[in-house]
Chain A
């Protein structure tokens, strides 16, 4: 399997995306911004089609579109808490624009390729990336992962308890904006590989699974990344063996299975533990809060 260059390319870029998405996803779930992640994926779809319709460089078009919308969400969300109505209205309009671009592209092209480009933009084309595309994607994804690790500690604090963090001198709004930009870059990279509308699965499922299994932020982040990477590897292998199974779908369905498994484990553990429900959950949140605040204070005193 590894003898094929396209498999090596796919593994390389998908692993980098999985690491970045596992990291981002954990914070996304923690911050209650999963819907924003969904929206940025859809923006990536429209970005691909817009660039294709205008005949521009796809990677550049994508990056510009997702980062611009990420900043827009950051600016709107900076004053009020994330508003699902605003995101919902903008998200569908962006998708509608994508449909227009699809029509325009179709009118410009010889025809017949409309379905193909839409399918590639929506569901990714992991196995048909060029070596150059794979390299750019990998570097961008690694950059995102490094950036998240670098701002991880204050970001965790700002996510868990924004008020206290602000008082402690953490630049909460700046961190939120940086985080969304990182998400935008991740969405742009993942749109080509995993698929614009499937990225959501890689963001939400491993992180959700990790959150169900552990309350400790360090272990949770590590678990989220590990699950994402495992899903990507197994998914690519499965897709290679089963020709009808598209790689993006394989990865996302595995992530969903991982989430299901984690929920079952959590439920089982809960039954064995047999203690009060509400107490367990709020206790977990409390521990998270303590860990975040403690970590930030340590980081500051160092």
Chain B
């Protein structure tokens, strides 16, 4: 019986037109698919990799996890999680608009997330504004994006009546072209960090001192926001618009709980993100529940564990130094100034 379900699923997929990505996505969630988990890990892995869609999903998720871990690391350091969430959510109206206009969905993702990144980035570098007002702008952009996306879905009607596939994703409909485009983007994003990672780090931990050292803080923060937008758009293709933040925030936050060293922290972040998506996809495959639930839950659990370890590890020193433990940013500040 388990195989019958999987085969039904597979025929449903192949029956679709290659370009009909959204129908695939819709079919992807909740479709019958019932492989079984066994103690034999090799057999489990064989089951996981038996279908092309699953191989595509695993590759795409791994690419996206690496991007998320690196970009998210800087996002957490810069305390821009709210902006990150908003940029991720932009993928929803982006995809809806692209479908309405009849262009590939990925264009919509990137155009909207990139555009919002410029708006938020430009807003954030203005001087003389409280954090609250900046957050009000971010929140307004986010809510307006969701409202617009819902409106566009209503205009389109038909297949897209349900917003759930765009909002909560479906890793099952990822095409080979999509995997290639994600890989190209990932190379670009990693190149960005290889080029400006060091000044960006400096600007992120201490903007004023970095300014004094003639680091172009404004340009860096706008370009980082754009990279964050592009990364978010890429992640949204795997996790859906609303769950992007799980991959952006949890793995880096986990890593920063465990070590103040920059290199180790980045590697740990990447590792955590990879484990999160692999476990999440694997669990979703074997239990037939939404991948979004498992990815967010795995990310959350790992973060909680790290936080517990972090608290225990810092406790003795807290008593020695004073009321607050030295924050991770302090360690980074020293490291970046030395570097």
- In-complex Cβ contact of A115 among B132, B161, B294, B300 (8 A): B161
Q: How far is the CA of A85 from the CA of B297 in the complex (A)?
A: 16
Q: What does the 1/0 interface line of B262-282 toward A look like (CB < 8 Å)?
A: 000000000000000000000
Partner of B249, one of A85, A197, A201, A259: A85
* Interchain CA distance A302-B65 in the complex, whole Å: 59
- On whether the beta carbons of B135 and A277 are closer than 8 Å, the reply is no
A64 within 8 A of B: no
Contacts of B151 in A (CB 8 A): 244-246, 249, 253
Q: Contact at B163–A119, with CB atoms within 8 Å?
A: yes
The answer to whether B162 touches A96, judged by C-beta atoms less than 8 angstroms apart, is: no
Q: In whole angstroms, how far apart are the Cα atoms of A30 and B134 in the complex?
A: 11
Of the listed residues B131, B136, B243, the one surrounded by the most CB atoms of chain A closer than 10 A to its CB is B136
Among A89, A90, A285, point to the contact of B130 (Cβ < 8 A). Answer: A285
| B133 at the binding interface (Cβ < 8 Å) | yes
Q: How far is the CB of B178 from chain A (nearest CB, A)?
A: 21
Given contacts A85-B249, A89-B299, A92-B299, contact A31 B132 (CB under 8 A): yes
Identify the closest chain B residue to A83 (Cβ).
B79
Q: Does A255 contact B (CB under 8 A)?
A: yes
Q: How does the 8 Å CB contact mask read for B124-150 relative to A, with 1 for contact and 0 for none?
A: 000111111101111111111011101
Interface size on A, residues (CB 8 A): 65
- Is B136 within 8 A of A208, CB to CB? yes
Q: Which residue of A lies closest to B79 (CB)?
A: A84
Number of B interface residues in the complex (CB < 8 A): 58
Residues of A within 8 A of B141 (CB): 256
Among B107-115, B203-211, B212-220, B285-293, the one that faces the other chain is B285-293
In A8-42, which residues have CB < 8 Å from any B CB?
29-32, 34-35, 37-38, 42
Question: Majority SS of interface residues in chain B?
Answer: helix
| Cβ B136 vs Cβ A211 within 8 A | yes
Tell me the residues in window 64-99 of chain B with beta carbons closer than 8 Å to chain A beta carbons.
Answer: 76, 79-82, 84-85
Q: In the complex, which residue of chain A has the Cβ closest to the Cβ of B129?
A: A281
How far is it, in angstroms, between the C-alpha of A30 and the C-alpha of B246 when the chains are bound? 27
- The reply on A184 being an interface residue by CB < 8 A is no
Residue from the list B161, B164, B299 in contact with A93, Cβ < 8 A = B299
- Residues from chain A with Cβ under 8 Å of B236 in the complex: none
Complex interface: chain A residues within 8 A of B292 (CB): 95-96, 99
**Cβ-closest chain B residue relative to A283:** B128
A102 adjacent to chain B (CB < 8 Å): yes
Residues of A within 8 A of B143 (CB): 197-202, 204-205, 252, 255-256
Is B289 a contact of A259 with CB atoms below 8 Å?
no
**Nearest chain B residue, comparing its CB with the CB of A123:** B150
A34 CB contacts on chain B under 8 angstroms: 82, 132, 135-136, 138-139
Q: Which residues of A contact B232 (CB under 8 A)?
A: none
Interface residues in A89-139 (C-beta closer than 8 Å to B): 89-93, 95-97, 99-100, 102-103, 106, 114-116, 118-119, 122-123
Is there an interface contact between A244 and B155, defined as CB atoms closer than 8 Å?
Answer: yes
Besides the contacts A118-B164, A244-B155, what 9 more A-B pairs have beta carbons closer than 8 Å? A88-B250, A88-B253, A89-B250, A92-B296, A103-B290, A115-B162, A208-B137, A212-B133, A253-B151
List the interface of chain A (C-beta within 8 A of B). Answer: 29-32, 34-35, 37-38, 42, 84-85, 87-93, 95-97, 99-100, 102-103, 106, 114-116, 118-119, 122-123, 195, 197-205, 207-208, 211-212, 244-246, 248-253, 255-256, 259, 277-278, 280-282, 285
